[in-house]
Homo-oligomer: A and B are copies of this chain.
């Protein structure tokens, strides 16, 4: 058990890093076969002939692995009320079979809602880093977070 975090626990400049996850070739191809069946994600000979020179992970796969790693940290566990959106999704380098990804988060902005006193938004910049320390993907999420536990009303 760890203490639950609420909107008011977040401050601009706070940083955190998630655990890692290794993406196997089989996982990369299975995900893409369902959601993003382009040749350079699912067809090894075609991928070898493509500009990528081999199978690369769907950018959506990288995004989802990153989000799942963030959720596993349980930082937004109790407070999360969803999200209105994301900004500036950038796929910067290919993710290849057996790459290990982890996510670095940095709080950019924390803003209590003007109209709804029980909640607010936190904007978090995420960088997905591979085992070589290279940033393979960056994106920013606006999280809607509860301000405090039930009973607290600051």
CA distance A63 to B61 in the complex (A): 12
Which A76-119 residues have C-beta < 8 A from chain B? 80-91
**A38–B85 contact, CB under 8 A?**
no
| B-contact 0/1 string along A50-69, CB 8 Å cutoff | 11100000011001100110
Does A6 belong to the interface (CB within 8 Å)? Answer: no
Residue from the list B37, B68, B81 in contact with A71, Cβ < 8 A: B37
The count of identical subunits is 2
> Given contacts A60-B64, A89-B87, are A81 and B51 in contact (CB under 8 A)?
yes
**B80–A85 contact, CB under 8 A?**
no
Does A16 belong to the interface (CB within 8 Å)? Answer: no
> Given contacts A60-B67, A68-B35, are A82 and B89 in contact (CB under 8 A)?
no
Number of residues of chain A lying within 8 A (CB) of chain B? 28
Provide a sorted-by-A list of 24 A–B residue pairs whose CB atoms are within 8 angstroms.
Answer: A34-B68, A35-B67, A35-B68, A36-B64, A36-B67, A37-B71, A38-B71, A38-B80, A50-B81, A51-B81, A52-B82, A59-B83, A60-B60, A60-B63, A60-B64, A60-B67, A83-B91, A85-B90, A86-B86, A86-B89, A87-B87, A87-B88, A87-B89, A89-B89
